[in-house]
Structure 1
Amino acid sequence: MKNDRTIIYSSPMEGLEVLSCSSGREFKSHLHDGYVLWLNSESGENYSVKGSSDILQPGSISIIEPETIHANSPCCIERRHLRSFYFSEEFVRSLNFKLLGRENAVSPFRNRLLENKRLWQALSGLHNKLLSPAEKLEAEENILSVLSGLYKQADAKDILPGSEDKRVAMVIDYLHAHMDSSLSLAELADLVGCTEFHLIRIFRSHKGLPPHSFLIQLRLEKARRLLAANANIADTAVQCGFSDQSHLTRLFKIRYGLTPRQYQKAF
């Protein structure tokens, strides 16, 4: 299903989005509010996660946790086909229950790289199916069948979550709660009891971006969710803390490769 120079979004069911990208655009440092599972089917992809860089080769599967800063770009623009699955945290909890019997079970959705050709082929096939119209029952059956293989591949020793400075977690919670407000660095530093400079240093060390850049990513992800639910674009800009609709449109196009209106039409 090669479509040169295109970015296609599809949402076959609540909590799951699928992206097909054969354009040459670079995805600069960004985050998602849910989990990402992605693979290439034609050429390698340069990527970095939390400061570590590598190349995602065809046959490899990368999983990225929510709010993990990462970036990626094609090794070969002409042969690129990036296939991505976006799972909300609620979707993964439901998946854990369906496949493991409990929502808080240790699952394979952690920052990791998997090498499993058979699973890669199954995920590629699932990706194709989810970009095509299908009944919900059929989609659910395909998802559970393929992702059960991902769970079988998981090794608990490899997927333990990493530690994070509690002050960083406090600031992130505050950013979520005050996303539509005008915040200051002094306000955030006072919240966690350190200097403004020290806050920037520890935040960047743990998340890969300074607080304001991280906040912009949170705002964009919130805007994406609202737009997918067909919210008014101007109202979305205000709710997410952007100065106006044009400010949202400019940053949204940079981040997702589509304008807010184009993104809504994809659904």
Structure 2
Amino acid sequence: MSSLCSPLFWRDPRMPHVELRVIHDAREICYAPHSHEHWSLGAVTAGRSTFQYGEATYSIRAGDLVLMNPHWVHACNPVSGEAWAYLMLYVDTPWLTELRFKAGLLSSPDWLDFTTAVVSEPRLYANYQHMAACLLSQQSTAEKQATLVNYLLEVMHALEPASDSETRRIPEGLQAVADYLNTHAGCDISLEQLCRFSGYSTGHLIRAFKQHYGLTPHAYLINRRVQLGQHELKQGKTIAAAALDAGFNDQPHFQRTFKRLVAATPNQYRQ
């Protein structure tokens, strides 16, 4: 893969609450449906693509911003091989929640989803590019932090969070299953275990879980294991160690699954 096609991941240990992904040519980059623990904000910098988010599908193009709530299933893929490029900012959810709360944008220090999925606003788009350029530059950490916070607050003020009636309410039994998968993702977990744990029948659990989380319990577990793998790689673990810690039986399986969900190899992500 050429350097233009290869993803660039910007990270700084002095700013552990944020990560930036840069893609110059995404024609060959395809994502399987997946979700993140963090809040994500992307900018399409060239071309067009299709954005699947929850149960909706959007056609997005250069100049658009896309927003992804934590744990919402999504995928963004090219249109018939057309060239497109994007920037993607991943922000730690607890850190962003505190920022919103201290700015008076939340009534309590608890995360609240946004109803907006796509924003076409030239000023916010231009300021996104300025913020991203700052993170990628040689400017001081203090300057990068200030630019990031100022931009996020600008976006937060421009968006309307979901009301209580719009917030997705997860049945207690399904939430318990998700919590169990989150906590024990590195372990062997069978569907029969989850049924015994939750009291759901096999068919009911699969249907109900996918309805509320967008993924079957097994797909949710695999998605969570990839998230664990990402965390391990960011901590400097080898690919083999990350695969083992994340619950994969072998490194090749981890690499294939990682690339399918992250649209990058584990080695590219480590770099």
Q: Shared topology, TM-score over 0.5?
A: yes
Q: CA deviation at 1:52?
A: 1.4
Whether contact under 8 Å (1:108, 1:151) holds in the other structure is no
* 1:132 maps to amino acid: S
2: CA distance, partners of 1:223 / 1:129: 28
Match of 1:154 in 2: 159
Alignment of 1:141-220 (within 5 A): 141-156=146-161, 160-220=166-226
Q: Deviations over 1:220-243 (max 9, x none)?
A: 011101101102322222221100
2: CA distance, partners of 1:103 / 1:240: 36
Q: CA deviation at 1:18?
A: 0.5
Q: 1:262 to 1:41 in 2, by over 3 A?
A: closer
Residue 23 (str. 1) matches residue 29 (str. 2): no
1: CA distance, partners of 2:18 / 2:162: 27
- Partner SS, residue 44 of structure 1: strand
1: CA distance, partners of 2:243 / 2:42: 29
Residue 46 (str. 1) matches residue 50 (str. 2): yes
Q: Deviations over 1:170-229 (max 9, x none)?
A: 111000111111111111112221101100000111122211111101000111011011
Q: 1:153 to 1:193 in 2, by over 3 A?
A: same
- Partner SS, residue 194 of structure 1: coil
Structure 2 unaligned blocks of 5 or more: none
Whether contact under 8 Å (1:40, 1:83) holds in the other structure is yes
Residue 262 (str. 1) matches residue 268 (str. 2): yes
Q: 1:256 to 1:68 in 2, by over 3 A?
A: same
- Higher mean displacement: 73-82 or 120-129: 73-82
Residue 118 (str. 1) matches residue 120 (str. 2): no
Structure 1 unaligned blocks of 5 or more: none
2: CA distance, partners of 1:6 / 1:62: 21
Whether contact under 8 Å (1:96, 1:103) holds in the other structure is no
1: CA distance, partners of 2:267 / 2:250: 15
- Give the TM-score normalised by the residue count of structure 2: 0.87
Whether contact under 8 Å (2:30, 2:260) holds in the other structure is no
2: CA distance, partners of 1:156 / 1:253: 32
2: CA distance, partners of 1:44 / 1:199: 37
Aligned residues: 263
- Higher mean displacement: 216-225 or 127-136: 127-136
Whether contact under 8 Å (2:239, 2:251) holds in the other structure is yes
Q: CA deviation at 1:27?
A: 1.2
Q: 1:134 to 1:91 in 2, by over 3 A?
A: farther
Q: 1:251 to 1:104 in 2, by over 3 A?
A: same
Aligned-residue RMSD, C-alpha: 2.4
2: CA distance, partners of 1:178 / 1:108: 26
* 2:7 maps to amino acid: I
Identical counterparts, % of pairs: 23
Q: Which one of the candidate residues 239, 244, 247 is aligned to 2:245? A: 239
Q: 1:161 to 1:169 in 2, by over 3 A?
A: same
2: CA distance, partners of 1:196 / 1:127: 45
- Give the TM-score normalised by the residue count of structure 1: 0.89
Q: Which one of the candidate residues 109, 125, 142 is aligned to 1:137? A: 142
